[in-house]
Structure 1
Amino acid sequence: MDNSNFTLFDPRCRQDAPFSIDVIMQLDIFGIVLFSVLTLMATVSMLVFLEECIYIYKKVPPNKKSIIIWVTGAAPVIATMSCLGMWVPRATMFTDMTSATYFAVVVFKFLILMIEEVGGDDAFLRRCKKQSFKISTGPCCCCCPCLPNVPITRRSLFILKLGSYQFALLKLVFTILSIVLWTNGNFNLSDVSATGGAIWINSFVGVLTIIALWPVAIMFMHVREALRTLKIIPKYAMYQLVLILSQLQTAIINILAMNGTIACAPPYTSQTRGYLMSQQLLIVEMFIITLVTRVLYRRPYDPIPDADGVEETKSALTAKYVV
């Protein structure tokens, strides 16, 4: 019997996600080794993050401590939540929501990090008072080069912050709303009909995500040269990579599972197996990103001195790397 017929006729392929004990009982030697290695990776990711928090607390200036901890914690938190979802399939919705809510805060924190790297709001405005933001950038307006640049003022800076902060706030609100609706039977991730709450909430969150990513991209395009020696480009790349892997990759796998492209393998249904594949990939990917992030952020550096009319900001940076 092929996979499609197996999925259609086996009653176990239409059941809910298995309990943890069912997962453990069906593991063979390969499964035990795989789950053990992935659990070890997630544990090491969290231990590396905790060690990094200690380093940041001791070495990083006070105005950047919490920001860097939030940003560097994205990969370890996602790896840990994925590991929990792997062992407890029925908790996948909650672990995914936790990861997504945490990353929503990271989007805002990364914007603040770029500003703090320049010296804070006042220093940024003082340096850039005669410059302007290029708003024709992704993900919203990369195809609109005709858009005028926006002068850098305290108000425009506040609007950029607000654009990212709304995502951190509203994502938490929608997460709580989703859980409330789920308890009442009105929220089901597999229900994509117009009468289901999941399609509307997820669509609205998707719009909020795009709006929140836009200010971060605008700020990055403006400061990337000035902060090049502080490794802002690879830091931004890691931030974008976490976004793509945790959101886009997961969404693609889930869509394939919902369409039945990913075959059922009892006790896993097609959708549950799709979640499992996504979680296992994320653990490996976030483990690697955690190690790379540690290298990028584990260094003390001097603040950027005030720029004058002769020197460019980018020539004022100094960095001391710690092995």
Structure 2
Amino acid sequence: MSNRTNRTMDPGCMGQPPVAIQIIQNLDIFGVILYSVLTFMAAFSLLIFLEECIYIYRKVPANKKSLIVWVNGAAPVISTMSCLGMWIPRGVMFTDMTSACYFAVVVFKFLIMMLEESGGDEAFLKRSSKHKLKISTGPCCCCCLCLPHVAITRRSLFLLKLGSFQFALMKIVFTILSIVLWTNGNFDVTDKKITGAAIWINPFVGVLTITALWPVGILFMHLKTTLQTIKIVPKYAMYQLVLILSQLQTAIINILAMNGIIACSPPFSSQARGYMLSQQLLILEMFIITLVTRLLYRRQYNPLPTEEHNNKENTCMVALSNSA
């Protein structure tokens, strides 16, 4: 029975992912069209981002330039890395790690961007000194409605920043550690054994991710009324969508591939084909998100109103606090 299984198993389903030249040699007409269109989308996303950078550096105040560039670059960077991973399947681990590191920095930059859009730390503290932060928000404590509200002070603001900054720092540290362990043969993303490094590093990074997203959610819930004139809700939605597609969707596809649910298609093994499908989906999705974020961030950056807007903001916040 085992001999019969060996005879029917295609050797291409058991080897490493193909190199780039093998992909080119095995492309049919549909494959040529698909790869050409996706490569064009990735290149066009990068060109849109570069054009947006020029606009930002010309039109946006200095304190917001780098923040908005970082946040705008999330989708184009992921799209570009996915395109490289599509053409060079054996480098998918490195392209995914690069995208993940970039987005880890974007999480922190998005939090700082919301503060700068509200006038900076001092203006935020002045506006919100009489109010409290609702910490029963996702992804950590959305169901813990009994949690107390926290006073807005310099210390609480520092803790919010620290909660997001630790992810930007530690994600890069663990990525470097993973690459070093991989060169020594100790890190393999498909290794589910308790003695493998991946089974320890990946869940810990997941905890750091959730811990970093929590402060951003807390600050967004507090400022979404104040920043509604600059479309902070759709901006936050795009930021969350990039997170879901680049992290959760990719993880689900990879798990299905590792369990053999995604069929093998030589020269791609089941796992390599899963990686390939993930990269191709990300290119298309990030292309659409790039177009949407360009519309959201390409605007006049005028300062927020002070007196009249403050009165409206205070009324809304008091109403929210009473309802809570």
* TM-score bracket, shorter-length normalisation: over 0.9
Paired residue for 1:193? Answer: 193
Q: Secondary structure at the match of 1:311?
A: helix
Give the C-alpha shift of residue 313 in structure 1.
4.0
Paired residue for 1:16? Answer: 16
- Structure 1 position 239 matched with structure 2 position 239: yes
The answer as to whether partners of 2:163 and 2:212 remain within 8 angstroms in 1 is yes
Q: Distance in 2 between matches of 1:6 and 1:247?
A: 35
Paired residue for 2:220? Answer: 220
Paired residue for 1:321? Answer: none
Paired residue for 1:273? Answer: 273
Q: Distance in 1 between matches of 2:49 and 2:6?
A: 43
Rate the CA distance shift 1:195–1:224 in 2: closer, same or farther, 3 A.
Answer: same
Paired residue for 1:92? Answer: 92
Give the C-alpha shift of residue 310 in structure 1.
6.8
Q: Distance in 2 between matches of 1:255 and 1:37?
A: 27
Cα offsets for 1:7-26 (capped at 9, x unmatched): 97112211111111011100
Paired residue for 1:285? Answer: 285
Give the C-alpha shift of residue 61 in structure 1.
0.2
Give the C-alpha shift of residue 280 in structure 1.
0.4
TM-score normalized by the length of structure 2: 0.93
What residue ranges of structure 2 are gaps of 5+ in the alignment? 316-324
Paired residue for 1:57? Answer: 57
Corresponding residue pairs, total? 311
Give the C-alpha shift of residue 312 in structure 1.
2.7
Paired residue for 1:142? Answer: 142
Give the C-alpha shift of residue 199 in structure 1.
1.3
Q: Distance in 2 between matches of 1:307 and 1:147?
A: 32
Rate the CA distance shift 1:129–1:186 in 2: closer, same or farther, 3 A.
Answer: same
Rate the CA distance shift 1:185–1:8 in 2: closer, same or farther, 3 A.
Answer: farther
Q: Distance in 1 between matches of 2:149 and 2:120?
A: 22
The answer as to whether partners of 2:127 and 2:310 remain within 8 angstroms in 1 is no
The answer as to whether partners of 1:307 and 1:313 remain within 8 angstroms in 2 is no
Residue type of the partner of 2:20?
S
Paired residue for 2:319? Answer: none
Paired residue for 2:71? Answer: 71
Rate the CA distance shift 1:100–1:310 in 2: closer, same or farther, 3 A.
Answer: closer
Paired residue for 2:229? Answer: 229
Cα offsets for 1:240-282 (capped at 9, x unmatched): 0000000000000000000000011111011110000000000
Q: Distance in 2 between matches of 1:82 and 1:225?
A: 36
Q: Distance in 1 between matches of 2:262 and 2:306?
A: 57
Give aligned-pair identity as a percent.
71
Q: Secondary structure at the match of 1:164?
A: helix
- Structure 1 position 258 matched with structure 2 position 248: no
Q: Distance in 1 between matches of 2:301 and 2:96?
A: 35
The answer as to whether partners of 2:61 and 2:301 remain within 8 angstroms in 1 is no
The answer as to whether partners of 2:75 and 2:287 remain within 8 angstroms in 1 is yes
Q: CA RMSD in A?
A: 1.6
